[in-house]
Structure 1
Amino acid sequence: MSRLGLIRPDMLAIVNQPYGRQVSYPITSSDIRRWALAVHHPEEPPARYLGLRASEDGELVAPPDFNPFAWRAAHTGTTGGEIALAPAHQGIGAMEHNLGVAPPDLRRALNGGVSATYTGVPMRPGDVITAESVIAGYTEKESRLGAMLLTETATTWTNQHGETVKVHRMTLIRY
């Protein structure tokens, strides 16, 4: 057990094991253009996102924040081994159950922050993006409300060539 007793050995055993996976539909030129128009509205988006002036290698590229999962994924799933989630843990972001481990007995949660690291590999028409999520680590702290568990997740996006496009990190605070 950890100092405050929130991080159990079975929880540490699942750190960095994939628990969720999404595969996008192939990205289309229209998807990229519509995303760029919506994100930059009311301004005109940069020409490279509209195909008016392509990227350095002459091809249309998506803005770095483009999300091929915004409308729907072609395939979504867990990695197997999941257990039922108790009603008290539904709706607070628990993910340990996807790997067969009971979540900690905490009833409240809030978003502790998000970040994205872009690798410079652009998304292009025809790309199929796979997003795989892991629990990247746990930290526990004492707060005014008692013991608090910070759970960091990392979702890595790769294209069909195995190139990493970006890594999205989120911290979930449970107490």
Structure 2
Amino acid sequence: MSELGLVRPDMAAIVGQPYGVTVSYPVTASDIRRWAIAVYYPEAPPAHYLDPGAEAAGTLVAPLDISVFAWAAARTEPNAKAFEVDPKYKAVGAMEQNLGVQPPDLFRALNGGLVVDYTGVRIRPGDVIRSETVIARYQEKESRLGAMLVTDTATTWTNQDGERIKTATMSLIRY
């Protein structure tokens, strides 16, 4: 058992195991242009995102923050271990059930923040992106409200060549 008793052995055993895998449709130049127009609105996006010459030359790249899953995903890979839980767990962001483990009995939650590590590999037209999420770690902390569990999830995006584009680490505080 853990020091405060929030992280059970079955929870500790799933750290690092992928539970959410999604694959994008091929990224198009139009996707890149629409995303750039949307995120820079009401200002005009930088010209290089709209340049047909960049597209023709193969130098068109997407803004770093593009979400290739904003409109839809080509597929989500099923997870045979996943099971349904009471909606009260999902309401606070529980994810353990996706790996076949009962979430902890904590029913209040806060967003603890998001950090994104970009590798320098850019998304280009034609790329197919794979997004894979894991529970990166659990940390138990004592607070004024009692024991709390900080759960870090890491979502890594790779392209069709297996090159890592970015990893987004989100912290979920449950108490």
- Structure-2-length-normalised TM-score: 0.94
Cα distance in 2 for residues equivalent to 1:109 and 1:80: 27
Cα distance in 1 for residues equivalent to 2:118 and 2:48: 18
Matches within 5 A, 1:1-175: 1-51=1-51, 54=54, 58-175=58-175
Counterpart of 1:114, as a letter, is L
Kept after mapping to 2: 8 A contact 1:47/1:53: no
Cα distance in 1 for residues equivalent to 2:108 and 2:142: 15
1:71-100 per-position Cα deviation (integer Å, ceiling 9, x unaligned): 111112443211221233121110100111
- Structure-1-length-normalised TM-score: 0.94
Unaligned residue ranges in structure 2 (runs of 5+)? none
Percent sequence identity is 64
Alpha-carbon distance, 1:53 to partner = 6.1
Cα RMSD over matched residues?
Answer: 1.5
1:136-170 per-position Cα deviation (integer Å, ceiling 9, x unaligned): 00001111111100000000000011001110110
Unaligned residue ranges in structure 1 (runs of 5+)? none
Counterpart of 2:138, as a letter, is Y
Kept after mapping to 2: 8 A contact 1:51/1:59: no
Larger CA deviation: 38-47 vs 151-160? 38-47
